[in-house]
Amino acid sequence: MKDSENSKVTPWEVSGRVDYDKIMTKFGTEPIDQNIMNSLSRLTGGDIHFMLRRGIFFTHRDLGWLLDQIKKGENFYLYTGRGPSDHTHIGHLVPWVFTKWLQDKFHAKLIFQLTDDEKFLFNENLDTEKTHSLALDNALDIVALGFDPKLTEIMIDTDRSGLLYPQAIKIAKKITFSTIKATFGFDQSANIGMIFYTSIQSVPAMIESVRAGKNIPCLIPYGIDQDPHFRIARDVLPRLGFLKPASIMSIFIPPLSGVEGKMSSSDPNSAIFVTDSASVVKRKINKYAFSGGRTSVEEHRKLGGNPDIDVSYQWLRIMFEPDDAKLKKIRDDYISGSLLSGEMKALLIERVNAFLKRHQELRERAKDTLHEFLAEH
């Protein structure tokens, strides 16, 4: 789906400077307005995650309805996922950090889908052994983020085919080939697994209702690129007697190369992986992070920098500086010229490395507890 001349947002490709207002109109999603913020705040005792305050999570479907259900005492569950094509990168963490906050606030069950089948079907260079081992590797990051093992079920698709397949075929039967072509833009060379795949990603949006034998509302947090799958799910599930899933969607953390597209594994110098060492992080940010600074220190001191195109600042805003007052000071100092772009990078390097040091320890420890998350519950 083209957003403007040079921008594209699909589940497989995000490129160009994304206009998020236009995306909302095109995808038919709602902005997160003050009413939604107020309802959320009432339910969380006044706590609003910085990703909401800053519009990182900026759009939704049926969130107002879901919050009303919660207010009435209705149970709901969370669902999110990952397609294991490589190690996890910082961009993937955006929806997961936010999902963890939702789980903590609402004590909600989370289904986390790892679509090793998807990555096998969509990637010429990956075999099923590789995608399955990457799913296990990525699962360590989910555990390391601190999700509650009693409330979190990680589903690796090829391990859970007995659960997923009988539901996926019910969904697949309601989706025509022409809908898939129109939604995803596949041509005649697409393999038939790709055409079927969206039905697999739809199953967790209703699986808790299947298990309970009654409808349980579902909320799906994700980066906006995944929305086409859930537009289809929302169309089909009611025709099978299930509720439409509600959703809340985020913008993308940009690649190091500049504030266009999304960070993606396909350009390793433009992404930081959770497994990168401190020296690799330092080198990548110093060498590749696009700067909104001026060409000389003198000019920067005189004219100031532009945080809106400065990737290091954007990473702090989206993920690594939760304190609004500190972020504002960084922004103001950059605009005034008192903070140099090398100093902005140093700030980011320090934050990313502090986060990754802890994360890498936790993902090592996660190997002992992963089985609790993989069990059916």
Q: Summarize as ranges the residues that interact with ligand TYM (CB under 6 A).
A: 11, 80-83, 91-92, 94-95, 113, 115, 118, 201, 220, 222-223, 225-226, 250, 252-253, 262-263
End-to-end CA distance of the chain: 37
Strands (E), 171-289: 218-223, 246-250
Minimum distance between the CB of residue 10 and ligand TYM, rounded to whole angstroms?
Answer: 11
Q: Give the residue with the Cβ less far from ligand TYM, 114 or 339.
A: 114
Q: For tokens 């390391």, what's the residue?
A: 144
Q: Give the residue with the Cβ less far from ligand TYM, 284 or 294.
A: 284
Q: For tokens 């992963």, what's the residue?
A: 370
Contact in structure between 113 and 155 (CB atoms under 8 Å)? yes
Q: Give the residue with the Cβ less far from ligand TYM, 218 or 366.
A: 218
Minimum distance between the CB of residue 97 and ligand TYM, rounded to whole angstroms?
Answer: 10
Residue 25 has a CB neighbour count (10 Å cut-off) of 10
Q: Give the residue with the Cβ less far from ligand TYM, 156 or 344.
A: 156
Minimum distance between the CB of residue 264 and ligand TYM, rounded to whole angstroms?
Answer: 6
Q: Give the residue with the Cβ less far from ligand TYM, 14 or 349.
A: 14
Strands (E), 241-291: 246-250
Going by the DSSP 8-state scheme, the letter that residue 320 receives in this structure is I
Minimum distance between the CB of residue 296 and ligand TYM, rounded to whole angstroms?
Answer: 32
- Beta-bridged to residue 72, according to DSSP, are none
Minimum distance between the CB of residue 332 and ligand TYM, rounded to whole angstroms?
Answer: 26
Q: How many angstroms separate the CA atoms of 104 and 51, rounded? A: 15
Minimum distance between the CB of residue 331 and ligand TYM, rounded to whole angstroms?
Answer: 20
Minimum distance between the CB of residue 252 and ligand TYM, rounded to whole angstroms?
Answer: 4
Q: How many angstroms separate the CA atoms of 80 and 69, rounded? A: 20
Q: Give the residue with the Cβ less far from ligand TYM, 38 or 266.
A: 266
Q: How many angstroms separate the CA atoms of 263 and 72, rounded? A: 39
Q: Give the residue with the Cβ less far from ligand TYM, 63 or 340.
A: 63
3-state secondary structure of 156: strand
- Sheet of 7-9: strand order equals 2-4, 7-9, 14-15
